[in-house]
Amino acid sequence: MNDEQRQEIIRRLQQGEEISPEWARILFPPEKREYELVYHGKEREEDIIANTLAVPLQKVRTFGKNDDSWHNMLIFGDNLQVMKSLLKMKEQGELVNADGTHGVRLVYIDPPFATKQEFRGSQDQKAYQDKIAGARFVEFIRRRLVMLKKLMSVNGNLVVHLDPRKMHYIKVICDEIFGEENFVNEVIWHKGREGGSSRSHALGSAMPTEYQNMIIYAKKRPERFWKPILGPYKLSTVKGVERDSRGWYYTRGRMGRQPAQWEIDAGEGKKTYVSNNPNEAKDEVLRRITSPDAEYVSRGDVWNSDIITQTKLTEYPTEKPEDLLDLVIGAGTGPGDLVLDAFAGSGTTCTVAEKLNRRWIGIDCGKLAIYTIQKRLLNLRSEVGNKGKPLNPKPFVLYNAGLYDFSKLKELSWDAWRFFALQLFQCRDETHKIGGIQLDGHLKGASVLVFNHQKQPGVRIDGETVQSMHEALGSKVGSRMFIIAPALVFDFQQDYLTLDGVRYYALRIPYSIIHELHQREFAALKQPVDEMAVNDTVDAVGFDFIRSPELDYVATANKRKDEKLSEGMIHIKTFKSEAVVRDSTKKANRETLSMVMLDYDFDTESDVFDLDAVFYAEAIQKIDWEVRFPLEPIGKQLMAVFVDIYGNEAREVIPASKFGLGSTKAAAKPAQKARKKAKK
Q: Which of 58, 641, 649 is nearest to 406 (CA)?
A: 58
pTM of the model as a whole = 0.74
What residues form DSSP beta bridges with 271? Answer: 251
Is the pLDDT reported for residue 58 higher than 70? yes
E-state strands within 262-313? 271-275, 297-298, 302-303
Give the H or E element holding residue 339: strand 338-341
Is the pLDDT reported for residue 177 higher than 90? yes
- pLDDT at position 543 is 58
- pLDDT at position 607 is 87
Residue 144 to residue 31: CA distance in whole angstroms: 19
> 140-154, 282-296, 399-413, 475-489: which has the highest mean pLDDT?
140-154
Residue 347 to residue 63: CA distance in whole angstroms: 16
> 161-170, 212-221, 248-257, 405-414: which has the highest mean pLDDT?
212-221
- pLDDT at position 427 is 86
- pLDDT at position 549 is 87
User: Residues 514-570: pLDDT tens digits?
Assistant: 332 333 333 445 565 655 555 454 444 455 667 788 899 999 998 766 666 789 999
- pLDDT at position 679 is 47
- pLDDT at position 156 is 96
Peptide bond into 510 cis (omega under 30): yes
Is the pLDDT reported for residue 195 higher than 50? no
Is the pLDDT reported for residue 266 higher than 60? no
| 569/163: higher pLDDT | 569
Average pLDDT, the chain: 81
Q: Cβ of 80: how many Cβ atoms within 10 Å?
A: 25
Span of 146-160, 176-190, 551-565 with lowest mean pLDDT: 551-565
CB hemisphere CA count around 304 (13 angstroms): 7
Is the pLDDT reported for residue 449 higher than 90? yes
Give the H or E element holding residue 408: helix 406-409
Query: What is the separation, in whole angstroms, between the first and last Cα of the chain?
Result: 63
User: Residues 31-52: pLDDT tens digits?
Assistant: 666 778 888 888 888 888 888 8
Residue 76 to residue 525: CA distance in whole angstroms: 10
Span of 5-9, 196-200, 314-318, 529-533 with lowest mean pLDDT: 196-200
| 424/595: higher pLDDT | 595
Is the pLDDT reported for residue 595 higher than 50? yes
Q: Name the pairing type of β-strands 626-630 and 437-443.
A: unpaired
- pLDDT at position 185 is 95
User: Residues 77-131: pLDDT tens digits?
Assistant: 889 989 999 999 999 999 999 999 999 999 999 987 644 433 333 332 233 333 3
Sequence-ordered list of residues with C-beta below 8 angstroms from that of 189, at least 6 positions apart, any chain: 211, 212, 213, 214, 303, 308, 324
Q: Which of 655, 651, 630 is nearest to 642 (CA)?
A: 651
Is the pLDDT reported for residue 507 higher than 50? yes
Average pLDDT over residues 245-271: 63
